[in-house]
Chain A
Amino acid sequence: MSESENIVVETAERMFADLADAQSIIASKSDAWKAPVWDALADAGLTLPWIDETLGGAGADLATGFALLQAAGRAALAVPLAETMIAGWLLARAGLASPAGAMTVAPAQPNGRITLSADGTLSGRARNVPFAADARHIAVLAATADGASVIALVEAAACQIAAGKTLAGDALNGVTFDRVKPIAQAPAPTGVDLTALMLMGAAARSLQIAGALETALDITVRYANERVAFEKKIGKFQAIQHSLARLAGEVAAAVSAAGSAADTLSGGRVAGDALLLEVAAAKIRCGEAAEVGAAIAHQVHGAIGFTSEHILHRFTLRAQSWRDDFGPESHWAVELGRRVAARGADDLWPLVASR
């Protein structure tokens, strides 16, 4: 990790520990914690790290932002940080400045389609947009009638936002654009299309999942070293040790796959099938790790981990719900499998070995 990544991660982790501690959030039984941590992040420039200072951002590199997202995952942070970062990134691609406050991005699924009509208004529906109900603005990737991509900024209040929640209870909303007039719009540059947006979103979610699983492992190991049953610490039982070793393997896979995808996007020189391999693999493997890892973490905790008062669910439920955003595992597996097949059997190993 570079010096600037370290500084950002340490700064963010201090804020998360002080203002978004999982146990304190559960004890507070309210959402009052959200505004202070958001303000702290925004004041430090961490909500728009990927944007030049001229466009209202902090001008950090992609790698730093990705490290921040993994740290946010480790805290199971439930404010629209990733969404605002991606929205700001998208707007900046078209030279549009980012407004203050929380944003989200639409579409947030690979089959979403929003159109820009000749009269300059947006129409269409985006399913499962994370935190739309909590966002002040939405960055939209739309298509014109002749197929060109356009990036637009709209006020969330100008859209119809359906009620909805994730497994973890965070806002997840259908957004309907009914002739919505954007605040600003500009053509998307070549290469910034729905696929590019989904790749960015999938990489972000992979890092968040990896981070959440890192903490789930920490919490679970700690619990196994404290909890006594049958007159010894349960971590001394071989059955528990082997379960935790499996959990560590899943966490290692998630961290590796997500880190590799982030590193690839940060480098900026890899495109096409190799980029698809990196990001699809991360989203698929992190999703699988979330499934296995959450099950083991809960199994080791027993009933206490199933209570609303315990912090474990903040990590395990978010890791699960993040799997569905920006394309679930099945979407990415089909995309990757089709590309691998189209290249042919003998080109599979060269593709894998190229990374």
Chain B
Amino acid sequence: MTAALTFDPIRLPPECEKLRQEVRTFLAEEISAGTFSPQRAQKSDDTDAPGFSKRVGARGWIGMTWPKKYGGHERSFLERYVVTEEMRVANAPVRRFFVADRQSGPVLIRYANERIKMDILPRICRGEVCFAIGMSEPNSGSDLFAAKTKATKTDGGWLINGTKIWTTSAHVADYMLGIFRTSAPTKDNRRHGLTQFLVDMKTPGITVNPIGQISGQSEFNEVVFEDAFMPDDHVLGEIDGAWKQATSELAYERSGPERFLETYYVLTELVRALGREPDLRGAEGIGRLVAQLHTLRRMSVSVAGMLQAGKEPVVEAAIVKDVGTIWEQQLPHRVRNLAAFVEPNVSNHETLERQLDFAMKIAPKLTLQGGTTEVLRGIIARGLGLR
């Protein structure tokens, strides 16, 4: 094919199956203890997400691929893949640790100094800290390099002023990885002048304001910085050079099972509602959706295999997220159509209705978060040699 694109049929190695059973057993225990319900994607406010995070950490399932000296477990990306997909399918409350596990930790490993690494990474692995990502601003979302929030040099560090927005989990986060403007862009490179910082959310001068969402949740926030002081050693990587760091990490963010499983639960309940002997329409509908799901998973595992092999499949990862998020966005709508003739006396009717209600409300965000469809297609087009 067009030389740049590779999707080899990678299989999960046998050690993954033992791990999968361990994860399933753990999750079954958590479910029976009442920590969460696999039928409920919308977490209630009293869900013990912090306690759950610590128990996951204690099992060694956070920072799985990281060096042992930082509290990690030096396991493979494919093993991490299994843990991630089992947690997603069970609707486990992973948000507290997932961002740190997926992207913030790897950034720290690569760019933070040893003292910070030894301080923070083991706590991530124990499930004790939550991270947020500070990229979007009121006037710059997809256009990341238009960021204006300023970091001004002062004695021993930097003063941050400005506003980040749509910052998921900022209201509960211990840290943020933020991108701030340290210099003006240059004529030749409008991406120049941004620097990545580790932000301790307890720093004086930071205010977090929750923003209500159409789903009824308020997971994301506005974060206002007023002369918030960041010490020098909280600069991550090259000053003015954050743009060089941002892109290669995105392959991790874009290709995982969380990019097509976010509404998976409606498919399970559809199969339950249509029963063991569905009519022709129901059978065909289920068959097509399962075929699409399997294909997405095979694509996603293939990218995980490339990451494990040390490659940087940026374009393949963008394809998985583009195709995967559109699929998970359409899934509740397809399920709704296929369930149109389900009798109200079917045992899980109410569960299905409640799930569809929630899934259809969150559907619009699935193709926005972590890189919009339009941004992804730009990346893919570049990979095809069109830019």
Interface readout for A260-282 with B: 1 if CB under 8 Å, 0 if not?
Answer: 10110000000000000110111
Task: Give every chain A residue within 8 A of B380 (Cβ-Cβ).
Answer: 244-245, 248-249
Q: Which residues of B (338-387) have their CB < 8 Å from a CB of A? A: 374, 376-378, 380-381, 383-387
Most buried by B among A224, A225, A246, A249: A249
In contact, A285 and B387 (Cβ under 8 angstroms): no
Q: Does A166 interact with chain B (Cβ within 8 Å)?
A: no
A217 CB contacts on chain B under 8 angstroms: 1-2, 384
Q: List the A residue with the shortest CB-CB distance to B257.
A: A353
Cβ-defined partner of A256 (8 Å) among B7, B264, B385: B7
Kindly identify, within residues 214 to 270 of chain A, every residue whose CB is under 8 Å from any CB belonging to chain B: 214, 217-218, 221, 224-225, 235-236, 238, 240-242, 244-246, 248-253, 255-257, 259-260, 262-263
Mask of B271-285 contacts with A, CB within 8 angstroms, 1/0: 110111110101111
Choose, from B68-76, B170-178, B188-196, B315-323, the stretch at the interface. B315-323
User: Quick check: is A83 within 8 A (CB to CB) of the other chain?
Assistant: no
Q: Is A40 an interface residue (CB 8 A)?
A: no
**Contact mask for chain A residues 324-355; partner B; CB cutoff 8 A; 1 contact, 0 none:** 00000110111111101110111011001101
Chain B interface residue bracket vs A: 35 or more
Given contacts A242-B381, A334-B283, contact A277 B290 (CB under 8 A): yes
Chain B residue with the shortest CB-CB distance to A261 = B9
How far, in angstroms, from A153 to B262 measured CA to CA in the complex?
Answer: 51
Which of chain B's residues has its CB closest to A237's CB?
B386
Q: Which residue of B lies closest to A329 (CB)?
A: B288
Would you call B295 and A281 a contact (CB within 8 A)? yes
Interface string of B290-308 (1 = CB under 8 A from A): 1111111111001000000
Of A280, A288, A335, A336, most B-chain CB atoms within 10 Å: A336
Report the bound CA distance from A36 to B179 in whole Å. Answer: 62
A284 at the B interface (CB under 8 A): yes
Tell me, yes or no, whether B94 is within 8 Å of chain A by CB.
Answer: no
Whether B274 lies near A341 (C-beta < 8 A) is: yes
The residue in B9, B276, B374, B377 that gathers the most chain A C-beta atoms within 10 A of its C-beta is B9
Q: How far is the CB of A289 from chain B (nearest CB, A)?
A: 9
Measured between beta carbons, the chain A residues less than 8 angstroms from B302 are 256
Whether the pair B386, A235 counts as a contact (CB closer than 8 A) is: yes
Interface residue? B267 (CB, 8 A): yes
Contacts of A262 in B (CB 8 A): 9
Interface of chain B residues 1 through 23 with chain A (CB within 8 A)? 1-2, 5, 7-9, 11, 20
Q: Is A259's CB under 8 angstroms from B5's CB? A: no
* Closest-CB distance, A161 to chain B (whole angstroms): 32
- Separation of A282 and B267 alpha carbons in the complex (Å): 20
Residues on B with beta carbons closer than 8 Å to the beta carbon of A251: 1, 5
B295 pairs with A259, CB closer than 8 A: no
Output the nearest chain A residue to B280 by Cβ-Cβ distance. Answer: A334
Whether A333 pairs with B283 at a CB distance below 8 angstroms is yes
Residues of chain A within 8 A of B25, CB atoms compared: none
Would you list which residues of chain B between 240 and 274 have a CB under 8 Å from chain A? 264, 267-269, 271-272, 274
Does B287 interact with chain A (Cβ within 8 Å)? yes
Q: Which residue of A lies closest to B7 (CB)?
A: A256
Once the chains bind, are A337 and B286 in contact (CB under 8 Å)?
yes
Which residues of B sit under 8 angstroms from A337, Cβ to Cβ?
A: 278, 282-288, 290
Q: Is the CB of B290 within 8 A of A336?
A: yes
Which one of A235, A238, A249, A340 lies within 8 Å of B290 (CB-CB)? A340
Chain A CB within 8 A of B89 CB: yes
Interface centre among B20, B269, B287 (most CB of A within 10 A): B287
Q: How large is the interface on A (under 10, 10 to 19, 20 to 34, 35 or more residues)?
A: 35 or more
- Residues from chain A with a CB closer than 8 A to the CB of B378 are 238, 241-242, 245
B227 within 8 Å of A (CB atoms): no
| A253-B323, A263-B9, A345-B269 known; A244+B384 contact, CB < 8 A | yes
Least distance between B181 CB and chain A CB atoms (Å): 27
Residues of A within 8 A of B299 (CB): 252-253, 256
Name the residue of chain B whose CB is nearest to the CB of A63.
Answer: B9
**Chain A: minimal CB distance from B291 (Å):** 4
Give the distance in Å from the alpha carbon of A349 to the alpha carbon of B87 in the complex.
12
A245 to B55, CA, bound (A): 41
With A333-B288, A349-B268 as contacts: A252 and B386 at CB distance below 8 Å: no
Partner of A249, one of B89, B269, B292, B322: B322
Contact between A341 and B286, CB atoms less than 8 A apart: yes
Interface contact A285-B283, CB-CB below 8 Å: no
Partner of A259 from B9, B284, B296, B385 at Cβ < 8 Å:
B9
A252-B268 in contact (CB<8A): no
Q: Which among A244, A278, A330, A334 has the highest number of chain B CB atoms within 10 Å?
A: A334
Q: Is B20 in contact with A346, judged by CB distance below 8 angstroms?
A: no
Shortest Cβ distance from B32 into chain A, in angstroms? Answer: 15
How many angstroms between the C-alpha atoms of A241 and B387 in the bound complex?
A: 9
Inter-subunit contact A334/B290 (CB<8 Å) = no
* B322 to A: closest C-beta gap in Å: 5
Please indicate the chain A residues that have their CB under 8 angstroms from the CB of B1 in the complex: 214, 217-218, 251, 255
Cα-based distance from A244 to B383 in the complex (angstroms) = 11
B200 contacts partner chain A, Cβ-Cβ < 8 Å? no
Name the CB-closest residue of A to B272.
A345
Of B11, B286, B297, B376, which contacts A245 at CB under 8 A? B376
The answer to whether residues A345 and B268 also contact, given A248-B384, A252-B319, A352-B293 and a CB cut-off of 8 A, is: yes
By Cβ-Cβ distance, the 9 closest A-B pairs, closest first, are A333-B287, A337-B287, A337-B283, A241-B381, A337-B286, A345-B272, A245-B377, A245-B380, A336-B287
29 A-B interface contacts by CB (under 8 A)? A214-B1, A235-B386, A242-B374, A245-B384, A248-B384, A252-B299, A255-B7, A256-B295, A256-B299, A257-B291, A257-B298, A259-B7, A260-B295, A263-B9, A277-B290, A277-B291, A277-B294, A281-B295, A332-B291, A334-B280, A337-B278, A337-B282, A337-B283, A340-B271, A341-B276, A341-B283, A344-B271, A349-B89, A355-B297
The chain A residues found within 8 Å of chain B, CB to CB, are: 214, 217-218, 221, 224-225, 235-236, 238, 240-242, 244-246, 248-253, 255-257, 259-260, 262-263, 277-278, 280-282, 284-285, 288, 329-330, 332-338, 340-342, 344-346, 348-349, 352-353, 355
Known: A217-B1, A241-B386, A288-B288. 6 other contacts (CB 8 A): A244-B386, A245-B380, A253-B295, A335-B287, A341-B276, A355-B294
Binding site for A on B (CB under 8 A): 1-2, 5, 7-9, 11, 20, 85-86, 89, 264, 267-269, 271-272, 274-278, 280, 282-288, 290-299, 302, 316, 319, 322-323, 374, 376-378, 380-381, 383-387
